[in-house]
């Protein structure tokens, strides 16, 4: 089983709710728009987190489509 690591650079990914490029393009839905620890009930402060790297097929579509080039996929 290959281990896949997906990193998102949050200094570049600033407006996830308006962009949504990666969550729309990903076929197995690896990314989830979810809460951060500080603000739970306000979706405006939510972040995109790669929560299911096990389902990633390594197609690199998210890397190519990210307008800020904030995503990095590592396949070991």
Partner 1 sequence: MNARNYLKEADEKYEYTRDYLEVLWGNLERIYLGKAMGMSINNTIGYRLKIPIIGRMIKWMVNKKLEKEKNPNPRIAEGHFGQVIPLEEAKLITTNLADVRIKALCPCRYMHRGIKVESCMGFTALAEVLPKLPRFIPENGLEILDSDKAEAFLNNMNEEGKVHTIWWGPIPYIAAICSCEYPECLGLRTRLDFGIKTVLKGEYIAVVNPNKCIGCGKCVSRCQFGAINFSSSINRPIIDAKRCFGCGLCKESCEEQAIRLVDRDEIPITRGMY
Binding residues (CB under 8 A) for partner 1: these are: 1, 3, 16-17, 20, 23-24, 28-29, 32-35, 40-41, 43, 49-55
Nearer of residues 27 and 60 to partner 1, judged by Cβ? 27
| Collapsed DSSP state (helix, strand, coil) of residue 14 | coil
Shortest gap between Cβ of 33 and partner 1 (angstroms)? 5
| Collapsed DSSP state (helix, strand, coil) of residue 72 | strand
Shortest gap between Cβ of 41 and partner 1 (angstroms)? 7
Question: Measured on CA atoms in the order 69, 13, 28, 7, is the torsion positive or negative?
Answer: positive
Say how many C-beta atoms besides its own lie within 10 A of residue 46's C-beta.
Answer: 16
Nearer of residues 16 and 62 to partner 1, judged by Cβ? 16
């Amino acid at each position: 089983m290959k281990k896949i690591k997906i990193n998102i650079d949050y200094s570049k990914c600033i407006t996830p709710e308006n962009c949504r490029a990666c969550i729309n393009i990903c076929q197995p839905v690896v990314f989830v728009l979810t809460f951060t620890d500080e603000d739970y009930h306000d979706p405006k402060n939510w972040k995109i987190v790669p929560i299911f790297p096990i389902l990633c097929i390594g197609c690199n579509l998210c890397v190519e489509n990210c307008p800020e080039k904030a995503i990095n996929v590592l396949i070991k």
